[in-house]
Amino acid sequence: MGKAANRIGSYFMIVLGALLASFSVICILIPNDAIDYGTAGIAIIINKLTGFNLSLCVILIFLPFLIAGTWLLGKRFGAKALTGTVVYTLGLSIFEKIPFELNTEHFLAVTFGGAILGVGLAMILRFGGCIDGSEIFANIVIRLIENKTGKNFSMTYILLAFNAAVYLAVFLLINRNSALLSLLVYVVATSVINHFTDRFEAIKQVTIITKDPDELIRQIKEELNKTCTIMNSYGAIAGENKTLICYVSYFELQKMKDIISANKGTFSTVSTVEEILR
Ranges of each domain in the chain = 2-197, 203-273
* In the predicted structure, residue 12 carries a pLDDT above the cut 90: yes
Looking at residues 201-220, what average pLDDT do you find?
90
Residue 76: partners with Cβ closer than 8 Å, 6 or more residues away? 128, 254, 255, 258
**How many CB atoms neighbour CB 216 within 10 A?**
22
pLDDT of amino acid 157: 85
pTM for the structure as a whole:
0.85
Query: Alpha-carbon distance 87 to 148, whole Å?
Result: 37
Residue 267 has pLDDT above 80, yes or no: yes
Q: What is the pLDDT of residue 278?
A: 64
60-115 pLDDT, tens digit per residue, is 999 999 998 888 888 888 899 999 999 999 999 999 888 887 777 888 889 999 99
| Cross-strand pairs, 230 | 244
Residue 2 has pLDDT above 70, yes or no: no
Q: 143-200, pLDDT tens digit by residue? A: 788 777 767 777 888 888 999 999 999 999 988 888 999 999 999 999 999 888 887 8
CB neighbours of 213 closer than 8 A, spacing ≥ 6? Answer: 228, 230, 242, 244
Q: Count other C-beta atoms under 10 Å from residue 57's C-beta.
A: 22
| pLDDT tier, 209 (very low <50, low <70, confident <90, very high otherwise) | very high
- Of 20-24, 40-44, 112-116, 273-277, the poorest mean pLDDT is in 273-277
Per the prediction, the chain carries an average pLDDT of 88
- Cα distance between residue 51 and residue 55, in whole Å: 11
Q: Are 237 and 59 in contact (CB under 8 A)?
A: no
Under CATH, what is the fold of the domain 203-273? Answer: Alpha-Beta Plaits (3.30.70)
Q: Residue 203 forms beta bridges with which residues? A: 273
